[in-house]
Structures are given as structure tokens and as C-alpha cells.
Structure 1
Amino acid sequence: MQGCIGTGWGKFRIAHLSTSDKIGIELFEFPNNETPENNFEYWKTGIFHYCVQDPDLEGLVEKIKAHGGKQRMPVREYYTGEKPFRMVYCKDPFGNLVEIYSHSYELTYSEDAY
């Protein structure tokens, strides 16, 4: 995660959820989040990132870079030598953070799934 959001953030809480139709959802909570006085400051919100799945992860990274995006971190292997699951964070050409998985969300995070 350090390559995604930089250094100095310490720790965070995360929940991984998966639906029966293979949709993955991640919920992040950072310890220094703030609750606004008026309950919802819509002008300060936006997407944190979105995620896509592509078995040719490296090829998609090259396409993103060729169209003005950037790779934010080296490709990460989840289970080196055991399973071929990989991920990487990039910035798309519009400046949005994009996470790319090589395999489906439920395969990546479920125990003994491969």
C-alpha cells in the first residue's frame, strides 16, 4: 500500500468483501480520519481508487503509461512461488488511482482458493 498513498501514514483498517457474482469490495479506514462538524462535506470527498482485473497485468500497465498514466509501485506478488496472484497501483491518464489485479478478488483473498 505504501506505493499507492506514499509514506508516513502508519497503519489502517481494511475489510475485504466479495459478492456471489465475483464483485470485490474493499473498505478502508485510516486512523487520522476526521468527522466533519456538519456531518457531510461533499466538496471534500471523491473516489479513493477503483480496481480492475486483467490477467495481462503488465500489459495493461504499459497501456496506461502509453496513454499518459503512471505506474505508482512495482508489481506485487501475493504468494510468491505458491500462487500467480499479482497486483499493482497506477494512476490513470485522468489522475485517478487504479488498482489492477491479475486474478479475481475472491481467489486472491480466500484461503486455499488455488
Structure 2
Amino acid sequence: MEKRMETMTDQKVQVVHKRLDAFELRVLARPASVTDFTSNRTKLDSLRADIDSILDAPTYEPKSTPTALANDTVLGALFSEDTDAQPDPTRAHGKRHRSSQNSDTTEEARVKKQERQRTE
């Protein structure tokens, strides 16, 4: 039985070797592929020309504006004594001013309210 297994294994190994040899012959018989470097070279030259044109393009530098005028305007707005132009703060818009001294109008309103409560 061992002898039979050994011969079958040898036969299978020989079949595999034959197939490998046939494959090697086919690969070696193929003509070598020809690489066309000329088209790649022309594309590369075109890209280089595009890059050179981008790098050589003039850059736009805006003229500097005089900052003295802007500084005067800002400083004038900050330190002007014109208080009429400044709007009220938005948080204080809906708030009432409360002072420790009662004004005559609020005192009168309280008296009227107390009288109304007494009559009811």
C-alpha cells in the first residue's frame, strides 16, 4: 500500500513539473512588450511648460491704501464728544430706571392704587 501511494505521489509531482515547464516556455516565448516613451516624454514636457507658465505669471499686488485717514476716522469716532449719535445699549432698551428716590408720579400712582384697593 505504501508503495502504491508513493508511485501515485511521484506521478502527480511529474504532472505538475510538466505543467510548470510548459508555462515557462510560453512565458519565455512571448515577445517583450515595447514601451513607448516618446508619448510620455511629450506629456511630461507639456506639464513642465504649464508649470513654468503658472510660476512665471505676474502676481497682482494691490496698492496700499493710506492708513492715516482710516486711523483718524476710527480715533475720531471713538473719542468724539458727540453723545447724540450714540444709540442706547440694546440690553437697557426695555428696562426701567430704578432709583432710591421715589418720584412724584410713582408716589401718586401708589396712593391711587391703595385707595382703589380700600374701596374694593
Could you say which TM-score interval applies, normalised by the shorter chain?
under 0.3
By percentage of residues, which structure has more helix? 2
Higher RCO by CA contacts (8 Å cutoff, separation 6 or greater): 1
Q: TM-score scaled by structure 2?
A: 0.13
Pair member with larger Rg: 2
